[in-house]
Amino acid sequence: MEIEETALPGIGLRHDFQTRSGRRLGVVSHHHGRRDLVIYDSDDPDSSQDSIPLTAEESDAFSELLGAPHIVEKLADISSAFAGLVGEQIAILADSPFAGRPLGDTQARTRTGASIVAVVRNQIVHASPPAGLPVRGRGHRGGRRDPGEHGVRRRVAPLRLTSGLAGSSAFHRDDLP
Amino acid sequence: MHSTATTFLELGGVLFSLGILGHLALRVGISPIPLYLVGGLAFGHDGLLPLGASEEFIGVGAEIGVVLLLLTLGLEYTAGELLSGLRKQARSGVLDLVLNATPGVAAAFILGWGPTAAVVLGGVTAISSFGIIAKVLGDLGRLGNRETPVVLSVLVLEDLAMAVYLPILTALLAHHSLARGSLTVAIALGVLVAVLYVALRHSDKVTRLVFNPSADRDDEVLLLRALGLALLVAGLDRRLQVSSAVGAFLVGIALSGPVAEGAQEVLRPLRDLFAAVFFVFFGMQTAPADIPPALLAGSLLALAGVVTKVMTGWWAARSAGIGTMGRFRAGAALVARGEFSIVIAGLAVAAGIEPKLGPLAACYVLLMAIIGPLAARFVEPVTRAARGRLSRP
């Protein structure tokens, strides 16, 4: 399945894909959180037969019905798919020192060697998050170790967190086995 | 001397009647802009209900309206979107501006108004209304359509062109000497390039000026700082005799990310209020008696404006590989003109270059703000009927 992403300047983003049954489905994500669920016309592929506006709350609920909980499981699957890669989810609690600050402030890669592959916020996965993305409390972040350089994969221990991210050093690195 | 009471009564009356007009527009499903203009005609010196006490306030409010319109326009786009639009759709953008400025320029020369008026009228006919078009596409459920990104990138380019055009226009209108005029234009363009660079590279720093995400989480703080910054830059521009509107637009572009989204949200009600005041003020400066003589030229310009925008959209959509129906949808979507045509005409009226230009521009925008949404709505059945007739033997 191939999901196409198109920028809609001034509006937001559009994602669309072809279902196995031959229909085209899309989602327009507005900057302000509104989502339009778009069902394309089977006769005119350029045009939408129906476009259903969803509030942020409705789209959350809807995506949950469609299986957003699986996204979390899938991230965990990455580690079993590639030996040597360890994926871990890290909850950012509201009282975390990083809550409300840009992702870059965590200096996660410098300090731990782990890459942050996604930020999961309100069930929505922000893949490849930019350093400027603010981390909000109560969200989740998927952390993943890169394979070693030159394709040599090292076995590394998962990231662990000190109690509740409350302390000043949020990341704790286990010794390599 | 007028008392505060009179000012309140007049202002309250104006805003309340605008509210009623806006309600009517919503009911009928058209943009409220033409109705605000008509309201303004009634409140002008020669109108049915001339205002006295509040005119000065409305004048200042209108200026703030222009700043807010341009600021929120800049907030709509990131610098990245502007540049990628420039890379991908440059040809459609040039075609759009050339095709759509031509009727305005030609009309000014035919009417014998001279080159400055031609530059103004070209701008009035060239720039589509982002506000009206985004609303119509959303209402018709066409945001997901394949041709919509094409439409939006044409609009992005128009707005980028505005950032170049407005300083040039301001210099022309101020009757600067060639040297002085080219200096202000050069300054404005230099600032534009600098802002785009800063917005691309150091946007987070500019953004932090307005909002510090870890320290303050308050809408009020964001509103005051964003508006304050835009007005400061606009005032500074005015001092340098560069268009104040451009400065606000650039502030909008320089702000980015969640702050831009937040600022847009908190500024929207304020923008709606002052933009309405601006449309009324423009209407007020036009004598209702001048409208009928401008109707013929205005209608011809409107007709040309529909044709040239449909051609632009058709061509841009075709080069993006969109089917026939989508090409016409793109063309029709682009037809609406509105706030920015008035902004441009407003500058010319304030400079007092050609007395008949204001009524003509008002007439043109009145027609185009009504025709645009209707064209977008009815393009599909019309195209289908035309194709049906063509394919029948």
Mutate to test the interface with A, among B145, B151, B202, B380 (most CBs of A within 10 A): B145
C-alpha–C-alpha distance, residues B162 and B156, integer Å = 10
Looking at residue A90, the DSSP 8-state letter turns out to be E
Q: Which fold would CATH assign to domain B78-267+289-384?
A: Na+/H+ antiporter like fold (1.20.1530)
In chain A, whose CA is at the least distance from the CA of B83?
A9
- Residues A76 and A38 both lie in one domain: no
Min mean pLDDT across A148-162, B160-174, B240-254, B375-389 is at A148-162
- Residues A113 and A39 both lie in one domain: no
Enumerate the β-bridge partners of residue B76: none
* % of chain B with per-residue pLDDT over 90: 41
CATH number of the domain encompassing residue A76:
3.30.70.1450
Q: Is B342 exposed, middle or buried (0-12, 13-18, 19+ CB in 10 A)?
A: buried
C-alpha–C-alpha distance, residues B158 and B66, integer Å = 17
**Residue A121 DSSP SS3:** strand
pLDDT one-digit tens code per residue, B17-37:
999 999 998 888 788 889 999
Q: What is the mean pLDDT of residues B193-208?
A: 79
- Residues A73 and A110 both lie in one domain: yes
Q: What is the mean pLDDT of residues B107-111?
A: 94
Q: Are the beta carbons of A7 and B84 separated by less than 8 Å?
A: yes
Q: Let me know how many helices (H) and strands (E) chain A has, helices first.
A: 3, 13
Domain boundary among the residues A44, A66, A88 is at: A66
Q: Least CB-CB distance to A46: which of B82, B146, B261?
A: B146
C-alpha–C-alpha distance, residues B132 and B137, integer Å = 9
- Residues A30 and A106 both lie in one domain: no
Q: What is the mean pLDDT of residues B124-132?
A: 92
Q: What pLDDT is attached to residue B21?
A: 92
Domain count, chain A: 2
Q: Least CB-CB distance to B134: which of A11, A38, A47?
A: A11
- Residues A79 and A141 both lie in one domain: yes
Q: What pLDDT is attached to residue B333?
A: 95
Q: What pLDDT is attached to residue A148?
A: 31
Indicate whether A28 belongs to any domain.
yes
User: B35 to each of B11, B32, B317, how far by Cα in Å?
Assistant: 17, 5, 32
C-alpha–C-alpha distance, residues A75 and A92, integer Å = 17
Q: What pLDDT is attached to residue A177?
A: 33
Taking the CB of residue A113, how many other CB atoms lie within 10 A of it?
A: 16
Domain boundary among the residues A36, A66, A96 is at: A66
- Residues A110 and A122 both lie in one domain: yes
C-alpha–C-alpha distance, residues B333 and B316, integer Å = 12
C-alpha–C-alpha distance, residues A10 and B74, integer Å = 9
Q: Are the beta carbons of A48 and B144 separated by less than 8 Å?
A: yes
- Residues A10 and A83 both lie in one domain: no
- The question of ipTM being above 0.85 is answered as no
Q: What pLDDT is attached to residue B182?
A: 81
Give the pLDDT band of residue A67 (cuts 50, 70, 90): confident
- Is the pLDDT at B320 greater than 60? The verdict is yes
Instruction: Return the higher-pLDDT residue of A152 and B70.
Output: B70
Instruction: Tell me the residue type at B119.
Output: V
What is the three-state SS of B101-116? HHHHHHHHHHCCCCHH
Q: What pLDDT is attached to residue B124?
A: 95
First to last CA, chain A: 38
Highest mean pLDDT among B49-58, B298-307, B384-393: B298-307
* % of chain A with per-residue pLDDT over 90: 14
Give the pLDDT band of residue A35 (cuts 50, 70, 90): very high
Q: What pLDDT is attached to residue B2?
A: 59
- Residues A36 and A61 both lie in one domain: yes
pLDDT one-digit tens code per residue, B229-280:
889 988 888 887 777 778 888 888 888 777 787 888 889 899 999 999 999 9
- Retrieve residue B116's tokens: 């400055």
- Is the pLDDT at B48 greater than 90? The verdict is no
Give the pLDDT band of residue A70 (cuts 50, 70, 90): low
- Chains A, B: CB contacts under 8 A, how many? 88
Q: B259 contacts in A (CB within 8 Å)?
A: none
Enumerate the β-bridge partners of residue A16: A4, A26
Instruction: Tell me the residue type at B252.
Output: G
Instruction: Tell me the residue type at B160.
Output: L
Highest mean pLDDT among B41-45, B208-212, B240-244, B380-384: B380-384
Indicate whether A177 belongs to any domain.
no
First to last CA, chain B: 75
- Is the pLDDT at A176 greater than 50? The verdict is no
Q: Are the beta carbons of A132 and B257 separated by less than 8 Å?
A: yes
pLDDT one-digit tens code per residue, A85-102:
666 677 777 777 777 788
- Residues A62 and A124 both lie in one domain: no
- Residues A138 and A150 both lie in one domain: yes
Domain boundary among the residues A66, A91, A113 is at: A66
C-alpha–C-alpha distance, residues B186 and B196, integer Å = 15
- Residues A147 and A164 both lie in one domain: yes
On whether any CB of chain A is under 8 Å from the CB of B81, the answer is yes
Q: Give chain B's mean pLDDT.
A: 87
Taking the CB of residue B141, how many other CB atoms lie within 10 A of it?
A: 19
Enumerate the β-bridge partners of residue A141: A90, A119
- Residues A16 and A27 both lie in one domain: yes
Give the domain extent around A94.
Answer: 68-172
Strand order of the sheet with strand A24-30?
Answer: A4-8, A12-18, A24-30, A35-40, A48-54
Contacts of B7 (CB under 8 A, 6+ apart): B53, B54, B57
Q: What pLDDT is attached to residue B371?
A: 93
pLDDT one-digit tens code per residue, A110-169:
887 777 777 777 666 777 777 777 776 653 344 443 333 232 223 333 333 333 333 323
Q: Least CB-CB distance to A8: which of B143, B213, B326?
A: B143
C-alpha–C-alpha distance, residues B208 and B344, integer Å = 32
Min mean pLDDT across A24-28, A65-69, B166-170, B213-217 is at B213-217
